[in-house]
Amino acid sequence: MTIEAPFLSVRRLSVTFGKAIAVADISLDVAEGECVAVVGANGAGKSTLGKAVTGLVHVSGGSVELTGQPVGADAARRGALYVPEGRMVFPQLTVEENLKVGAFTQRRLGDWRTQRDVMYDLVPRLAERARVRAGLLSGGEQQLLAIARALMARPRLLVLDEPSLGLSPTAITTVTRFLGQLRVDTGVTILLLEQNTAFAARLADRGLVVSLGRVERTSLTQTQLGAISVATE
C-alpha cells in the first residue's frame, strides 16, 4: 500500500550482520494515527526491522523517514521509540521509577510527573502498584508498564515488538484493550511486530507478512490478518 504523504516511510530497507541478511529490500508506509502489523514467524526479521526503524541497528541500505525527514541514531529524539519483546522492565525499580526512566528524552524532566499522571489515568493498575518493584508484577502488568514507560517520552511512533509474547489469554485481553484505548485517547502511530496473527488482527488497521527478511504479502485487511497462519513453532 502506498500512502501519498506517509507519516512513516520505509524504502528498500536492508540490514546485514556480517554475511547474514536479516532484512532485505523491505518497503512500507504507515499513515499518521494508523496501526500497521508486520507479522511473521520467529527469525523472519521483524525485530531487526523495528530496531532499524528506531535507529537501534545500522542500516545497510535503503531509507527510513518520519514525516519526510530521515531517521537514524536520533530516532528517539525525533519521537520514534521501540518497545522490545520480553517486556524488559527494570525489575529492581518501582513502577514509578520505571516511568521516570522513560522520560529521559524530555528536556524538561521536571515535568515528568504530568506525563506520569497521564499514564496512571490510562492504566489505573499501575497507579495502584506505583511503589511495587517491577519484578514483582505479573507478566501482563509488566507489559503494560513497558508500553507506558515508552509513552513517557511522548512518542509520535511506537514500535511494539511481540507485545503478546508469553502472556496468558487474560493478560493478552488486557493489553489489547489498553492498546485499543491508547489509540483512541492519543492517536499515536503504531508499528506492531507480531507472530500472533489473531492478536494483530484485533489491533491493526492492516498488515503485511514477512519471511526470512523479505515481504511475502502486503495490504492485508484486518479480516485477512485474522484468517492467515504463520509458522510460529
Task: Give the lowest-confidence range in 4-18, 89-103, 166-180, 216-230.
Answer: 216-230
**Does residue 109 have a pLDDT over 60?**
no
CATH superfamily name and code, 8-87+157-227: P-loop containing nucleotide triphosphate hydrolases (3.40.50.300)
Residue-wise pLDDT for 113-132, tens only, equals 888 999 999 899 999 999 99
Dihedral over alpha carbons 21, 78, 155, 72 (to 10 degrees): 10
d(CA 27, CA 208): 11
Buried-exposed string 83-119: b where 16+ CB fall within 10 A, e elsewhere: bbbebebeeeebbbebbbebbeeeeeeeebeebbebb
**Does residue 3 have a pLDDT over 60?**
yes
Domain ranges of the chain: 8-87+157-227
Mean pLDDT for 178-195 is 94
Vertex 201 angle, CA 167 and 81, to 5°: 65
Average pLDDT, the chain: 91
Distance of CA 123 to the CA centre of its chain: 18
The reported pLDDT for the residue numbered 174 is 92
Residue-wise pLDDT for 7-48, tens only, equals 999 999 999 999 899 999 999 999 999 999 999 999 999 999
Task: Give the lowest-confidence range in 55-69, 75-89, 90-104, 105-119.
Answer: 105-119
pLDDT tier for residue 108 given thresholds of 50, 70 and 90: low
The reported pLDDT for the residue numbered 233 is 36
Mean pLDDT for 165-194 is 93
